[in-house]
Amino acid sequence: MALSHREAVLHKALPWLIAAHLVAGMADQALLVVALGILVDQGHGFWWAPLLKMGYTTAYVVLAPWVGQWVDRASKAEWMVRTHWVKALAVAAVLCGLPLLIGFAVVGAAAAIYAPARYGWVTEVTREADLVRANAWQEAGLVGSAIFGTVLGGLLLSPAWHAGAESMLHMDSALSWLGLHAGALAALVVLALFYVAAGCLNQLVPCSGWHTRMPVTPMLKPWAVLQAFYRANCRLWGDAQGGQLALAATALFWGIGAALQMIVLQWATTNLSLPLHQAAYLQGVVAVGMVSGALLAGRFVPLRMAHKLLPVGVLLGVLVPVAAMTHDVAIAATCLALAGAAGGFTVIPLNALLQSRGLKLLTPGLSMAVQAFNENASILAMLAGYAVMARIHVTPVGVMWMLGAAVSLSLLSLMRLKLQKA
């Protein structure tokens, strides 16, 4: 007899997977904040923030046709461990003189492989009825990493950290050969150690034992790989049983979320007069809301109800402009937390629905690669738009109003399309 939604049993290694991702995700988020702080110290403007995120995200889009097959050809557990070592080496290379933007892009490339390996492993070891709950716990780890990562990034940018690092390292001026102050140098060392710790935790996640049932395209024939990936995209986008709706909605949510993550930093420093390290904490408020919404969805929303949650997502589009109009930190934090909760409650069941349809139509790694491609293409488009608006000095409030309108109108359009097909 199938277990009920409340009696779902998840894989015993899932906590180790979430712990590893929590540690690595914290380092990813903190690295973004620290890198932005380094660039601001070097005289660059805030419009570099979306460019940093774009450099990280581009790898997801460029490598998407290949990473699905890579992780399906071998153990996904082993692939996850390798990506953590690559991230640690990339940060170490920055400490040895590699340009910061290149190192950040290498971290993004490793993350692009890690994502389909992680989600693919969960899909392989989890029954369809349990996917919403498994995704809720994954999202809790993901958003938890964003919360603690922003806090960690803020601490690594704080005056107290810089003073302590200079005192400990006995350095009073910038490192001439790296252009880094002692505080930034010590911060990068800490983040490299976080990636090492994530690799050690991921060693505790066993192989799933799953083997692909579909033929794989020879990797030395790039045109054939691209054609196969295009067909996989068409298959999910053409799936009228939920794949099409879930793919469109999740791509929209992750694109808006990435842009919101960046704009909150600029808006908090200009409209709320917060220093950068405190503005980074406000990002964590959005993440707290998201993890709350995700856990509620995992507790109460069965997979068959995923497509009915789009109206909840419209609240995100309403609350973001409301937050933009206030100069009170408490009111802004409340609005952002509620917006995050609306997003988390909506996107987690849709993500589970997409995984379920992807497993039936494709393979776990390939379906996750298709999902990552579309979501990160959306992120790139949103970040590019934000970078242009920031460069031409559109106010943060104006950008937040545009983001709110975009998510509300897009979700209303998807709801109308769903009704027409019903």
Q: Tell the burial category of 354 from Cβ atoms under 10 Å away from its Cβ (0-12, 13-18, 19+).
A: buried
Q: Which of 168-172, 253-257, 278-282 is predicted most confidently?
A: 253-257
112-158: per-residue pLDDT in tens?
A: 888 888 877 887 777 767 777 777 777 677 767 877 887 788 788 87
Q: Which two tokens stand for residue 328?
A: 């009170």
| Whether residue 369 has pLDDT greater than 50 | yes
State what percent of residues in the chain have pLDDT above 90.
Answer: 8
Greatest pairwise CA separation for the chain in angstroms = 69
Q: What is the mean pLDDT of residues 393-399?
A: 85
Residues 147 and 339: their CA atoms lie apart, in Å, by: 15
Mean pLDDT on 378-389: 83
Give CA–CA dist 18/137, Å, rounded: 8
| Residue 263 in this model has a pLDDT that exceeds 60 | yes
Which residues are CB-neighbours of 136 under 8 A, at least 6 positions away?
A: 294, 295, 297, 298, 299, 348
d(CA 113, CA 107): 10
> What is the phi/psi pair of residue 174, to 5°?
-65, 150
Closest CA to 280 of 161, 373, 381: 161
Phi and psi torsions of 348, nearest 5°: -65, -50
CA atoms 86, 90, 92, 97: torsion sign: positive
Work out the average pLDDT over 344-349.
83
Estimate to the nearest angstrom the gap between the alpha carbon of 296 and the chain centroid: 20
Q: Cβ(330)–Cβ(322) under 8 Å?
A: no
Residue 195 CB partners (closer than 8 Å, separation 6+): 24, 27, 84, 85, 87, 88, 91
| CB distance 372 to 64 below 8 Å | yes
Provide the pLDDT for residue 173: 47
Task: Please report the pLDDT score of residue 202 as a whole number.
Answer: 92
Only one residue has tokens 């053409």, namely 238
| CA-based torsion, 286, 287, 292, 297: positive or negative | positive
State mean pLDDT over 206-215.
63
pLDDT tens-digit map of 264-281: 878 888 888 877 667 767
CA-only gyration radius of the chain, Å: 21
The mean of the pLDDT values for the chain is: 79
All domains in the chain, ordered by first residue: 12-202+240-421 (1.20.1250.20)
Q: How far apart are CA 389 and CA 400, in angstroms?
A: 11
What is residue 191's predicted lDDT score, i.e. its pLDDT? 94
Tokens of 407: 């998510």
Residues 226-232 have a mean pLDDT of 86
Integer angstrom CA distances of residue 355 from 98, 126, 189, 275, 363: 37, 11, 36, 40, 10
Query: How many C-beta neighbours within 10 Å does residue 111 have?
Result: 22
Band of residue 107 on the pLDDT scale cut at 50, 70, 90: very high
Burial of residue 170 (CB within 10 Å: 0-12, 13-18, 19+) is exposed
Q: What span, in angstroms and rounded, lies between the C-alpha atoms of 32 and 54? A: 11
Q: Would the pLDDT of 3 be above 60?
A: no
Highest mean pLDDT among 7-11, 97-101, 191-195, 256-260 belongs to: 191-195
pLDDT at 169: 64
How does residue 177 score in pLDDT terms, banded at 50, 70 and 90? very low
Only one residue has tokens 């350095």, namely: 171
- From the CB of residue 5, how many other CB atoms can be counted at a distance below 10 Å? 16
Query: Are 387 and 143 in contact, with CB atoms under 8 Å apart?
Result: no
Q: Residue 24: is its pLDDT beyond 90?
A: yes
What pLDDT sits at residue 65? Answer: 82
| pLDDT score recorded for residue 295 | 76
Best-predicted range by mean pLDDT (74-83, 205-214, 220-229): 74-83
